[in-house]
Amino acid sequence: MTELQIVTLPDEVLRQKARPVTKFDNELQTLIDNMIETMRAANGVGLAAPQIGQSLQLAVIETLPKEDDQGEDIPNSRELFVIANPRVVWESREVIDGIEGCLSIPGYVGEVERAYSIRVRAQDRRGKPLKLRLKGWTARIFQHEIDHLNGVLYIDKLTDRENFWTDEEYYNMRQAEMEAEEAEEVDGVAETAAPEPNE
Ligand code: NI
């Protein structure tokens, strides 16, 4: 397998509507294997063919590990999907805001509203029809990757122009939020522990 070069903005292939996959031949199988390897090497959870310079309606997605009751990752619980010619056939009215990044826009993250759950029809790596029901983070990744196949990027869909940060800004913001939460908790404890005056 070969690791492929990931293209980044402003490469125009990222803005094109991708061509449908019509041949599920050996060449396509090799491309898919290389995309999986490239996604894993980049620590990504999804990679669409335009991101490796191929204007094809094809994406690979690998979910985050599931967690047990203690919040520990369950081994081998990641799920791998290969989708060709996908379409979202239904989306929930329920939406959810979340933070996204993109391997083609390195160093940045932004907040995007997505449908909480979706249904997708697609073809698998051999061309067999697939019907998928997805929710939560998995549904979010699918929406992000399917957008790529239409030349759409998450930066087109920010909840607000201001909700776009460098990785470092976002990290510092989260740290500050966590510290503020901790400080509040300490205050709370101190208040209850303090002796009541005049009593
Ligand atoms: Ni992306």
pLDDT tens for the chain, 199 residues: list them: 899 999 999 999 999 999 999 999 999 999 999 999 999 999 999 999 999 999 999 999 999 888 899 989 998 889 999 999 999 999 999 999 999 999 999 999 999 999 999 999 999 999 999 999 999 999 999 999 999 999 999 999 999 999 999 999 999 999 999 999 998 877 665 555 444 555 5
- Ligand 1 centre from 153 Cα, in Å? 7
Of residues 12, 145, 168, 191, which has the active-site annotation?
145
pLDDT for 112 equals 98
pLDDT at position 185, please? 79
Give the Cα separation of 127 and 129 in Å (integer): 6
- pLDDT of res. 115: 98
C-alpha span between 98 and 130 (Å, rounded)? 26
Q: Distance, CA 152 to ligand 1 centroid (Å)? A: 9
Q: 104: CA distance to ligand 1 center in Å?
A: 6
Q: Does the annotation mark 145 as catalytic?
A: yes
Q: How far is the CA of 196 from the centre of ligand 1 (A)?
A: 56
Q: How many CB atoms lie within 10 A of CB 102?
A: 25
Q: Distances in Å between the alpha carbon of 163 and those of 33, 83, 171, 173?
A: 35, 30, 13, 12
Q: Name the residue type at position 156.
A: D
Reference 18, options 149, 145, 125; nearest CA is 149
User: Which residue type occupies 88?
Assistant: V
CA distance 164 to 153: 13
Where helices occur in 100-154 by DSSP H, the ranges are 136-148
From the candidate CATH numbers 3.40.50.280, 3.90.45.10, 3.40.50.2000, 3.30.1390.10, the one assigned to the domain spanning 12-162: 3.90.45.10
Give 138 Cα–ligand 1 centroid separation in angstroms: 14
Residues 127 and 185: their CA atoms lie apart, in Å, by 54
Q: Looking at the chain, how many residues does it have?
A: 199
Residue (of 90, 21, 24) closest to 56 by Cα position: 21
Amino acid found at 152? V
**What's the pLDDT at 142?**
98
R_g of the chain, CA atoms, integer Å: 21
Q: How far is the centre of ligand 1, averaged over its atoms, from the C-alpha of 195 (Å)?
A: 55
